[in-house]
Structure 1
Amino acid sequence: MDIEKWDEYRSINKALIDFVEEIDHGSKMKKVVAHICQSGGKKTRPVVLLLSSRICGSEIGNALDAALSIELIHSASLIHDDLLDRGILRRGAKTAHEVYGIPAAMLAGDYLISKSIELISAYGKEVGIEFGRAGMEMAEGEAMDVDLLERNSNNLAEYFNCIEKKTASLFAASAAMGAYVAGADEDTVSKFRLFGNKLGTAYQIVDDMLEYTSKVNNKESIHMSPSLVDVYRQDMADSKAIAKTREIVEQLVSEAHEIIDLFPPSQSRNRLHEITNYATKGLFSEVGTRKC
């Protein structure tokens, strides 16, 4: 997937660069924010927002600030996630707190969240509510993740509740916000929200699976979250647990594709299909360098 060549990716990447450039040059904040915001990644969530908006008839420019707000709150969540996990590497580079210290990293996360709120405030009530709800659910999901780790819990219902809040919520909000920005009706918004939920859930299951199989070569943490394989292997052999996990992911991906196909054929629709395939590329076989 050559997402770097897409208009959506290039637009959000330029907006991100411009945002970092506007930060006071004499401030340490600029260095910390640049470290996390310019460390690569596919900008999947904001690209999903822009594509959803285009499918609903809007242009990139109308949704760009909303997309940037999504990328900034996602970046803030990465900082906080690395702090909670005592992460050492992120996208092949040292984490922000490893380079600049815990206080600077925490403040950078706060800064990114504040900027994202400023950006989203220019949009309507529905967009703001969607964004705020996602932020709260992400925090709830992270708290659940910590609790599951502390209790060494591998409960199926708790696992899915955790990842739907921690990860799928922002994917769902990204797709829904794109539709809202374009003025779509609630039925259309609901379809995009459900698509994002399916995509985000599948993505997190695969991400956890990569940690389980030690195939992630661009992230290193002291604390590893439970995976769906951990849940299933309580009652079956490892090979069967992996096969069952793959089956769940394939079902989620299939359902995500079905939702996308409800909309008229277009380049934007095709690109959502590509993103869905890429986010779960190889189903655990060749995704060690995935950067979303």
Structure 2
Amino acid sequence: MDFEKWDECRSINKALIDFVEEIDNGSNMKKVVAHICQSGGKKTRPVILLLSSRICGSEIENALDAALAIELIHSASLIHDDLLDRGVLRRGVKTAHEVYGTAAAMLAGDYLISKSIELISSYGKEIGTEFGRAGMEMAEGEAMDVDLLEKNINNRVEYFNCIEKKTASLFAASAVMGAYVAGADEDTVSKFRLFGNKLGTAYQIVDDMLEYTTKVNNKESIHISPSLVDIYRQDMADAKAIEKTRGVVEQLVSEAHEIINQFPSSQSRNKLHEITNHATSDLLPEVGTRKC
């Protein structure tokens, strides 16, 4: 999938470049933010927002500020995640706090969140509420993640509660906000919310699974959160735990595709199918893969 050539992805990348260019040169902020925004990433969440908006009858231009806000708050969450995990590398690049220090990284995160609020303020109450709620849930999820790590909790219910908040919440908000931009009804919004929740949950399970089985995406952290594989391994062999985890992901992805198929046939719907697979099933490790 030539994802980077999609109009949606190009629009987000251009918006990010323009945003960085507008930052005042009077402080170190521009360098830190540029380091964060130019370090790669698939832009999955903002692209989902743009696609959901198109499926509901709107155009990219109408939803671009909302999509950029999603990308900026996601980037801010990565800064915080790296600080909490004492991350050294992300996407093969040194993390912001490793290059510029903890204080500069924290302030850049504050800057990104503030800019995302400014961008979202031009939309209606539903979108603002959705965005704010996602931000709070992400923070709650990260706090739960710290508890899971510190208390060595390997509990399936706690794990799903955690990842649904820290990761799936922003996927769901992205899909929902795109629908709201286009003026979709509440039934359609509910479908997008469920789609985003299932995709986001599957995405995080795969991400944790890849950290369990091997070093992936050139990401290196001192603290690694528990995975669903770790939880299943309490009662079964390693290969069986990986196989069972794959089954959970495949079920969630299948359900996400079923929801997508409820929308009218279009190129945007096809892209939503593609990006769903690209972020989940296509990355699944093989059964029997061992941790490095």
Normalised to the residue count of structure 1, the TM-score between the two structures is 0.97
Equivalent residue letter for 1:83 = L
Counterpart in 2 of 1:284? 285
Q: CA deviation at 1:217?
A: 4.3
Give the equivalent residue in structure 2 for 1:290.
none
SS at 1:206's partner residue? helix
Matched, 1:187 2:187: yes
Do the aligned partners of residues 285 and 237 (structure 1) sit closer, same or farther apart at CA in structure 2, a change above 3 Å counting?
closer
Equivalent pairs counted in the alignment come to 286
CA distance in 2, matches of 1:100, 1:215: 24
For residues 17-36 of structure 1, the aligned pairs below 5 Å read: 17-36=17-36
Aligned residue in 1 for 2:53: 53
Q: What stretches of structure 1 of length at least 5 have no aligned partner?
A: 287-292
Give 5+ residue unaligned stretches, structure 2: 288-292
Scaled by the length of structure 2, the TM-score of the pair is 0.97
Rounded to whole Å, the distance in 2 between the matches of 1:103 and 1:140 is 22
Residues 1:240 and 2:248 aligned together: no
Deviation at 1:96, TM superposition (A): 0.1
After superposition, give the CA deviation of every residue in 1:54-94 in whole Å (9 maximum; x if it has no partner). 00000000000000000000000000000000000011000
2:212 maps to amino acid? Y
Q: What whole-Å deviation, never above 9, does each CA across 1:123-178 have from its counterpart, x for those lacking one?
A: 00000010000000000000000000000000000000000000000000000000
CA distance in structure 1 between the partners assigned to 2:64 and 2:194 by the alignment: 22
Can you list the C-alpha shifts for 1:225-268, whole angstroms capped at 9, x where unaligned? 00000111111111111111000000000000000000111010
Q: Which residue identity does 2:277 align to in structure 1?
A: N
Aligned residue identity for 2:65: D
Which residue of structure 2 lines up, in the alignment, with residue 268 of structure 1? 268
Q: 1:26: how far off?
A: 2.8
How far did residue 214 of structure 1 move?
1.7
C-alpha distance in 2 between matches for 1:217 and 1:166? 19
Moved over 4 A (4+): none
Q: Could you tell me whether the CA contact under 8 Å between 2:168 and 2:197 is conserved in 1? A: yes
Q: Aligned Cα RMSD in Å?
A: 1.0
Q: Following TM superposition, by how much is the alpha carbon of 1:282 offset from its aligned partner in structure 2, in angstroms?
A: 3.8
Q: Deviations over 1:102-121 (max 9, x none)?
A: 00000000000000000001
DSSP 3-state at the match of 2:165: helix
Q: Distance in 2 between matches of 1:16 and 1:285?
A: 35
Residue 144 (structure 2) aligns with:
144
Structure 2: distance between partners of 1:173 and 1:7: 21
Q: Distance in 2 between matches of 1:218 and 1:33?
A: 20
Residue equivalent to 1:177: 177
- Residue number in structure 1 paired with 2:78: 78
SS at match of 2:284: helix
Cα separation, 1, equivalents of 2:250 and 2:107: 39
One-letter code of the match for 2:284? L
Q: Distance in 2 between matches of 1:282 and 1:145?
A: 23
The alpha carbon displacement at 1:215 in A equals 3.4
CA distance in structure 1 between the aligned counterparts of 2:79 and 2:217, rounded to whole angstroms? 18
- 1:221 corresponds to: 221
1:2 and 2:5 correspond:
no
- SS of the residue 1:147 aligns to: helix
Out of 25-34 and 72-81, give the one that drifted further.
25-34
